[in-house]
A and B are shown apart, each in its own frame.
Chain A
Amino acid sequence: MSAPNDYDPVEVTALHPDEVARMLDEALAAIAAADSLEALKEAKAAHAGDRSPLALANREIGALPPSAKAEAGKRVGGARKKVGEALKARQAALEEERDARVLVEESVDVTLPWDRSPRGARHPITTVAERMTDIFVGMGFEVAEGPEVEAEWYNFDALNFLPDHPARTMQDTFFVEAPSGGPSGQVLRTHTSPVQVRALLSRELPVYVVAPGTTFRTDELDATHTPVFHQLEGLVVDEGITLAHLRGAIDAFVEGMFGSGLKTRFRASYFPFTEPSAEVDMECFVCRGASVGDPDAPCRTCSSEGWIEIGGCGVVNPRVLTAAGVDTERYSGWAFGLGIERTLMFANGVKDMHDMVEGDVRFTSAFGMEV
C-alpha cells in the first residue's frame, strides 16, 4: 500500500492501538483454542502467517511519517512477538501431549528374551594364566616360551637331574619314541623349567622372565590330577639376587591374585635345579587360619590346614647356570613354578579337575571373558 507521508497513524485503522490489541487477542484465543498440532498449524497460518492481520498491519507502517513509525512499529512488533511466543509454547505443549500418547502406544515388553547372538567364553585356565602372567609383567618381567615336546637335555640334564637319580624318575615322564622305535632323547616336558635354560641361553643378562605353559606327566585323570596341566615358571638371574627377592616376588603375586594381607611361608624342599629349594604356602585366603584346630568351622579351601601350597621355588642351582653359560661368580638367581590349575581351583572354587578338562560349555561359560 502506498500513501502520502503526512498520514496520521491513528487515522490508519489497522494500526490503531485498539485494533492491534483486538488482533492480538484474536490470535491468542485461536492459539489457545488449537487442540491439535494440525489446528495449531492452521492458527499459525491465520494469525502469524504472511496474510495474517498483524502481518498486514505491519506493512502499513512503512507508509507512516518517520515520526510515527517507531511507536507503531513497537506496538505491532510487540503483538507479533507475543503471538510467536504463544505459538511456541502451545507447540511445545501439544508435542508433549502427542509424545506422551504415541510413546505409550509404542511400549513393549522389555522382559522378552533377546539372546540372539551366541555367547562365547574363554577357558578359565587361559584367563587365569594370563592374569598370573600379567602380575609379573607389571613388575617388569617378560614372557619366555619353549617347546612342549622337549629335548631331555633341556628337561632334565641341564636342570641337574642326573641320569639315574630318583628325582628323574619321580616325575612320571611321557617319553617320545624315535621313528625306529628306540629312544629319541625327547619327552613331553614334565615342567616349564626347561624354559629357564632356553631363556638364559637366548637372552641377555639380567633375565627377568615368566613362562606360562602346558606340561605333561603320566598321571591318570581324577579329581585332583590330570596328565596335561599348566604351570607358570618364573626366573630371575641378576647380580646380588637373594631369597628375599624371591619372597618379595611371591608376596606380590599372592597379593595380586588373592588380595592383600596374606602371609606366605617357605618350607625347605628339594628340586634338582634349585639349591636351596622350598615349597611355598600362602595363608588360606578364606579362613586365614581360623579353621585350624576348630572342628566346628572346617575350611574346605585349605582342609583346615590354614595354609595352601601354591608352588615350589628356590635359588637357581649354580650347576644349571653353568649349563646355561652364566658366570656363577657374578650372577645368581632364583626360580619358581606355580600351578595354574591349583590357582584356579583355589581362586575360583573349582572342585574337580574333570571340569577343567572335559570342555563342557556350562563350566567354561560361567567364566566369561576374564577371571
Chain B
Amino acid sequence: MRVPLSWLRAHVDLPEGTTARGLASRLTEAGLEVETVESVGADITGPLVAGRVLEIEELTGFKKPIRYCRVDVGAANGTGEPQQIICGATNFAAGDLVTVALPGAELPGGFKIGARKTYGRMSEGMICSASELELWEDHTGIMVLAEGTAEPGDDAFSYLPLRDEVLDIAVTPDRGYALSVRGVARDAAAVYGVPFRDPAAGAEDIAPGEGAQPARVDDAALCGRYVLRTVTGFDPEAPTPVWMKRRLALCGVRPISLAVDVTNYVMMELGQPLHAWDGGALKGALEVRAARPGETLETLDHTERRLDPDDIVIADERGPVNIAGVMGGAATEIGLSSTDVVIEAALFSATHIARTSRRHQLSSESSRRFERGVDSALQPAAASRATALLVELGGGRAERGGTHIGAGAPPEPIRIDAGLPGRIAGLEYPRETVLRRLEEVGCAVRADGDALDVTPPTWRPDLTDPNDLAEEVIRLEGYANIPSVPPRAPAGRGLTATQRRHRAVGRALAAAGHTEVLNYPFTGGRDLDALQLEAGDPRRSSVRLANPLNDDEPLLRTTLLPGLLKTLVRNTGRGFADVALFEAGRVYLPVPGAPERAPLPGVDRAPSAEERAGIDAALPHQPMRVGAVLAGRREPAGWWGEGRPALWADAIASAREAARAAGAELTVRAGRTAPWHPGRCAALYVLAGGEEVLVGHAGELHPRVVKAFGLPERTAAMEIDLDLVERAAAGPRAPEVSGYPVATQDVALVVPSETAAGEVEAALRDGAGELLEEVRLFDVYTGEQAGEGRKSLAYALRFRAPDRTLTAEEAGAARDAAVAEAARRTGAVLRG
C-alpha cells in the first residue's frame, strides 16, 4: 500500500516536526512495515509558473507538427513580455492556461530547462505535460489547467501538488485494514496519541426507493452485505480533478476516467473495493450467486474466462457481468458514453475471493482487499462517498433509492484478562493503558474489574483471539519496552548420538580430502537414464512434484549421485581436474502401498497416535545418505613425482571413512549394480544384530555413465545409507592394551586369481583366533612363480597375548591355524 503523506495528514494531526522517515520508523515498529519512503517532486526546482497561451504559430516543414507559442507568464520572466516557446504537442489552444518551465528550472530526472535554438527559433522554456512534472502518467499532451486554477505568473508550487512523500507499506496478510489511508491514519494516530478523523464517519443509510438498481443475494455465505447506488445524468467526459489524479498516481493507480477514478479513490481512502457499471448496459435485476457450470465471462482485461461453480459472480438477466470482487466484465464496463453509473459496494466471502483469484491467476487491488477481509459495515458509507463524488465532480444526480441487502455479522466480544498483554510481553501494562490501546484500534471495551469484554471493530476481522488483542497493546506500546531476560532451559542432553555421528561423518570426509557440496534434490528421468538404471530399478520410483521449477526436473532424488556428478563436472569444467566431493543429505523413497493422500485431522485438538501414524505412513521414506565422487588425481603431481590417480579403491576408502565416523566397520564384497563398472563395484555391508545389511556401493563408474555425464575417465563414486550404517553403530569400548611384545609372522598364500582378497583375509582372521592383533596385506603378486591363473597374497600377521610374552611355538601355531582356515575356505596354498 502506497500512502501519500499529504493524504494521511488529512485524517490525522501528526505532531509538529514529524518527518516521513520518523513516521515510517514508528509505523514499522508497530507492524506496518514501511519498505520505502519516496520523496516525489523533490528534484523539481523553479521557475515553474502558470502561463496563458496567447498565440500559436504552426511551423511547417518538419516531420511532426511543431508549434511556436507566445505565452503570457505575467511578471515571472522579469520582463512581463510574452515568452516564446516551441512545443510539439497539439492538444491545447490559444487562451488555455498551462504550466511553463522557464529557463533555469529543473524537472524530474535532472532535466534542465534553458533558452535554446530549436526548429529554427529561440525557445525560452517548456510548456509542461503531467508526465514531465511527474504528476501522473499522461501521454495525451500538455496539461491544460482548469480555468481559475491560477493567474499567469503564479508559482506552480502554489497550485500544483508537485511535492509529496509516499510511504510504501508492505501490509501483512492479517492487516487488511491497512490497505487504506483510513487504516494507516488510524494506526498513525494511535502510535502518536493524536486525534484521528474517520473519512467514513457520518454516512447516511441507504434505503430502497425510486431509481434503485434491483438485486438479490442467493446465499449470505457468499456475500454478507450488498449495496448498490445509482447516479444518472453523469457527464462521461468530465475530467478527474488534479488532486484526485495526483493522489491516485501516488498510490500507484493509473487515472482512467472520472467514474473509474472515483471508485479507485474511495477504495484507497476507505479500503472498500467498489465496482462501477455502465447502468445502461445492465439488463434487469442483478443476482449475486455461484457461477453455473459452463458459464464464461470476458473480463476487463479482454480474456475469456471459464467460470468455476466455486466462483461468485454478479449476473444480470443475460448471465454473469462480473467475477465478484476480482474483476468486472468487459461488456458492462464504464465507457465514454456512460451517463448512468451503478456503484457496487459488497462484502464478499474472503475465502471464495481468495480461491477465485488463485484459480484464475487474477490478483487485483480488489481481490487483495477482499482476501484479507474488508470492514463488514463500511459498504453503505463507501457507496455513498463514491456517489457523492460522482455527483460533485461529474455533474450527475444521485438516485434517492438504493439497494442494501444483508447486515453483515456483528463482531463477537472476546473476553480477556487485563493482565494478559503484560503476561505475554514480560512486563506490566497499567490496566488503563490496555483499555486505551484497545479503544484506539477501534475496539469497544466493557470492563468488569480485570475481566474485559472486548468487541473488535468491524474493520478488524483479524482480531479473533485473546492473543490478537494482546498484540495490539504490545505493538502500540512498543516492542522496544520489552526487557531481555535469558531463558532458563532445564539441563539439556546435548546432541543425540545420531546427530553427533552425522557431524563426525562430515568432518571425517573433509579431513580425508573431500569438499562438501549441498545439491538441490531435484532430478529428472534424464539423470536416471544417465546412471544407466534399468527400467525396474527401485531408484526410478520417485516422489514427483506437482509444480517443479524446471520441467526437466520434476522428481526428488532417490540417490545423491546425479547431483554430485553434475557438480563434479561443473568443477572440472572450471579447470579443476583433481576433485573429490561429498554430500550428506536425504533422499526421498516412496513407500510401496502408502496411502495416496496424507490425512488432514482437525486442529482443535492433538491428533491421536493413529492419526499421526496415518500422516507419517503417507510420507516417503527419507533416509540420510552420504555420497562421494572422486576424479583426477587423489594425490596431486608435484616435484616429488606423478602423484596418484583416484581409483575405485579410493571410493571404497571414502565409504569406509564415512562408516567408521558413523560408528561401524564395513564389510566389502564384490557387487554389481548401476551406475558402477561391473568389475569394479563393491557392495558394502555392516553387521547389525547378527545380520549382514547392505548399506551401499562404491567403486569405479561404468564407462557409459562417465560418458553420459561427461565425467573424467575412471571417475569413482560411493553412496551409503547412514541410517542403515547406524544400525550397526555401537559406542566404542576401551580395548585391553597389552604391554607384552608382539610376534610377527608373514605368510604368502597362493589362491586362484578370481578369489577375493577380502575372503582370504576374513578366513585368516577367523582362523588365527584371539591372539591375532592385526592382518595386513602387503603384497599381491601375479607373475610366473604364482602359477597360471593364480595369485600370491602376502600377509603380515601380528600376534600378541594380553598376559604373557608369546613363544615362537604359540605364534607359529596361531599362524598355522589361520593358514589352515584360509586353505579350507579358499583353497589357499602356503607358498615356499
Measuring CB to CB, which residues of chain A are less than 8 angstroms from any residue of chain B?
112-123, 125-126, 130, 137, 139-143, 147-154, 157-158, 160, 162-167, 169-170, 174-180, 182-186, 188, 201, 206, 208, 214, 218, 220, 227-228, 236, 241-249, 251-252, 264-270, 275-279, 315, 317-319, 322-325, 332, 356-362, 364-365, 369
CA distance A192 to B637 in the complex (A): 45
Task: Give every chain A residue within 8 A of B29 (Cβ-Cβ).
Answer: 265, 267-268
Residues of B within 8 A of A147 (CB): 619, 622
Who on chain A is nearest to B483 by CB?
Answer: A244
B586 and A120 contact, CB distance less than 8 A: no
B597 touches A184 (CB 8 A): yes
A20: min CB distance to chain B, Å: 50
Which of B424, B427, B495 gathers the greatest number of chain A CB atoms within 10 Å?
Answer: B424
Q: How far is the CB of A333 from chain B (nearest CB, A)?
A: 10
Q: A120-B514, A165-B173, A269-B33 are in contact. List 12 more A-B contacts (CB 8 A).
A: A148-B622, A149-B556, A154-B615, A177-B544, A186-B618, A244-B484, A267-B28, A268-B475, A276-B475, A356-B518, A361-B515, A362-B576
Q: Is the pair B482, A185 in contact by a Cβ cutoff of 8 Å?
A: no
B599 contact set on A, CB distance < 8 A:
153, 185
Using a Cβ–Cβ cut-off of 8 Å, how many residues does chain B contribute to the interface with A? 111
Write out the residue numbers on chain A whose beta carbons fall within 8 Å of the beta carbon of B586: 148, 214
Q: Is the CB of B638 within 8 A of A206?
A: no
Produce 1/0 per residue, B818-830, CB < 8 A to A.
0000000000000
In the complex, B543 has a CB within 8 A of chain A: yes
Which residue of the partner chain B has the closest CB to A198? B612
Contact residues of B between 574 and 630, Cβ < 8 Å to A: 574, 576, 578-582, 585-586, 588, 590, 596-601, 603-607, 612, 615-616, 618-620, 622
Q: Point out the residue from B175, B468, B480, B590 that lies within 8 Å of A275, measured CB to CB.
A: B468
Q: Report Cα–Cα, A361/B603, bound state, in Å.
A: 46
Which stretch in B349-357, B405-413, B698-706 binds the other chain? B349-357
Residues 465-502 of B at the A interface (beta carbon under 8 Å): 465-468, 470-471, 474-475, 479-480, 482-496, 499
Give complex CA distance A252, B489 in Å. Answer: 13
Cβ contact within 8 Å between A268 and B487: no
Q: Which residues of A contact B596 (CB under 8 A)?
A: 178-180, 182, 184
- Residue from A244, A245, A278 whose CB has the most chain B CB atoms within 10 Å: A244
Q: Is B31 an interface residue (CB 8 A)?
A: yes
Q: How far is the CA of A199 from the CA of B198 in the complex (A)?
A: 47
CA A275 to CA B175, docked complex, whole Å: 13
Residues B549 and A218 in contact, CB atoms below 8 Å apart: yes
Closest chain A residue, CB of each to CB of B474: A276
* B546: interface (CB < 8 Å): yes
| A176 contacts across to B, CB distance below 8 A | 543-546
Given A276-B467, A276-B471: A163 and B351 interface contact (C-beta under 8 Å): yes
* A56 CB to nearest B CB, Å: 44
B634 interfacial by beta-carbon distance below 8 Å: yes
Interface of A is mostly: mixed
Let me know if A143 and B475 touch, CB within 8 A: no
Whether A141 contacts B489 by the Cβ 8 Å rule is: yes
Within the assembled complex, what's the spacing in Å between the Cα atoms of A281 and B510? 34
12 pairs of residues in contact across A and B, judged by CB atoms under 8 Å: A116-B635, A149-B543, A149-B620, A153-B599, A174-B547, A179-B590, A227-B520, A243-B425, A319-B465, A322-B603, A360-B570, A360-B574
A358–B567 touching, CB < 8 Å? yes
B484 and A248: CB pair below 8 A? yes
Whole-angstrom distance between the alpha carbons of A206 and B636 in the complex? 54
**Are A364 and B545 in contact, CB atoms less than 8 angstroms apart?**
no
A307 to chain B, nearest CB (A): 10
Contact A268 B471 (CB under 8 A): yes
In the bound complex, residues from chain A placing their C-beta under 8 Å from that of B31 are: 267-270
Interface residue ranges, B against A (CB under 8 Å): 28-31, 33, 172-175, 350-351, 354-355, 358, 368, 371-372, 423-427, 465-468, 470-471, 474-475, 479-480, 482-496, 499, 503, 506-507, 509-521, 543-549, 556, 567, 570-571, 574, 576, 578-582, 585-586, 588, 590, 596-601, 603-607, 612, 615-616, 618-620, 622, 634-636, 638-640, 643
Q: Taking the nearest CB of chain B, how far is it from the CB of A157, in angstroms?
A: 5
* Cβ contacts under 8 Å, A122 to chain B: 506-507, 510, 516
Instruction: List chain A residues, Cβ under 8 A from B427.
Output: 244
* Chain B residues near A322 (CB-CB < 8 A): 603-606
Closest residue on chain B to residue A318 by CB atoms:
B467
Query: Within 8 Å CB of B581, what residues of A?
Result: 359, 361
Of the candidates B371, B544, B579, B598, the one whose C-beta lies within 8 Å of that of A185 is B598
Smallest CB–CB gap between A163 and chain B, Å? 7
Chain B min CB distance to A43 (Å): 40
Complex CA gap A116/B513 in Å reads 11
When distances are taken between beta carbons in the complex, the residues of chain B under 8 Å from A123 are: 516-518
CA of A163 to CA of B349, assembled, Å: 14
Does A117 lie within 8 Å of B519, measured CB to CB? Answer: no
Q: For the complex formed, measure the closest distance between the CB of A315 and the CB atoms of chain B, giving whole angstroms.
A: 6
Question: How far is B759's CA from A224's CA once the two chains are assembled, in angstroms?
Answer: 54
Name the residue among B471, B514, B588 with the largest chain A CB count within 10 angstroms. B471
Q: Do B174 and A188 touch (CB < 8 A)?
A: no
Output the least CB separation between A311 and chain B (Å). 14
- CB-based nearest B residue for A208: B489
Query: Could you say which residues of chain B place their CB within 8 Å of the CB of A162?
Result: 351
**In the complex, chain A residues whose CB is within 8 Å of the CB of B514:** 118, 120
Set B172, B485, B493: member contacting A242, Cβ < 8 A: B485
A164, A208, A220, A278: the one contacting B487 at CB < 8 Å is: A208
Q: Are A244 and B426 in contact (CB under 8 A)?
A: yes
Bound CA span A280–B513, Å: 39
Give A277 to B487 CA distance when docked, in angstroms: 18
Knowing A267-B479, A361-B571, the reply to whether A242 touches B425 (Cβ < 8 A) is yes
Question: How far apart sit A306 and B329, CA to CA, in the bound complex (Å)?
Answer: 48
Min distance, Cβ A192 to any Cβ of chain B, angstroms? 14
C-alpha gap A183/B600 in the complex (Å) = 12
- Nearest CB of B to A243, in Å: 5
CA distance A331 to B582 in the complex (A): 44
A123 to B563, CA, bound (A): 15
Residue of B510, B511, B570, B616 touching A359 (CB-CB under 8 A): B570
Contact B606 A323 (CB under 8 A): yes
Most buried by B among A123, A154, A241, A252: A123
- Whether the Cβ atoms of B603 and A117 lie closer than 8 Å is no
Contact of A361 among B355, B465, B547, B579 (CB under 8 A): B579
B515 touches A357 (CB 8 A): no
- Whether the Cβ atoms of A142 and B515 lie closer than 8 Å is no
Q: How far is the CA of A179 from the CA of B662 in the complex (A)?
A: 34
A206: B residues at CB distance < 8 A: 489-490
Contact residues in A for B483 (Cβ distance below 8 Å):
244, 247
- Shortest distance in angstroms between B516's beta carbon and chain A's nearest beta carbon? 4
What residues of chain A lie closer than 8 Å to B520, measured between beta carbons?
A: 227-228, 357
Is the CB–CB distance between B513 and A118 below 8 Å?
Answer: yes
Which of B371, B487, B491 is within 8 Å of A236, CB to CB? B487
Q: Are B518 and A126 within 8 A (Cβ)?
A: yes
Nearest neighbor of A170 in chain B, beta-carbon distance: B173
In contact, A117 and B546 (Cβ under 8 angstroms) = no
Residues of chain B within 8 A of A137, CB atoms compared: 492, 494-495
Q: How far is the CA of A239 from the CA of B676 in the complex (A)?
A: 56
Give the nearest-CB partner of B624 in chain A: A145
B262 to chain A, nearest CB (A): 27
Q: Could you tell me if B354 and A143 are in contact, using CB atoms closer than 8 angstroms?
A: no
What is the CA–CA distance of A175 and B495 in the complex, to the nearest angstrom? 32
**In the complex, what's the smallest C-beta–C-beta distance from A113 to chain B, in angstroms?**
6
| Chain B residues within 8 Å of A265, by CB | 29, 479-480
Taken together as a complex, chains A and B put the C-alpha atoms of A174 and B520 apart, in Å, by 13
The reply to whether B479 and A143 form a contact with Cβ atoms under 8 Å apart is no
By beta carbon, the residue of chain A nearest B582 is A120
In the complex, what distance in Å separates the CA atom of A244 from the CA atom of B488?
12
Q: Chain B residues near A245 (CB, 8 Å)?
A: 426, 485-487
Chain A minimum-CB-distance residue to B548: A174
A270 and B489 contact, CB distance less than 8 A: no
CA distance in complex: A141, B425 (Å): 22
- Output the residue of B31, B175, B355, B581 with the most chain A CB within 10 A: B31
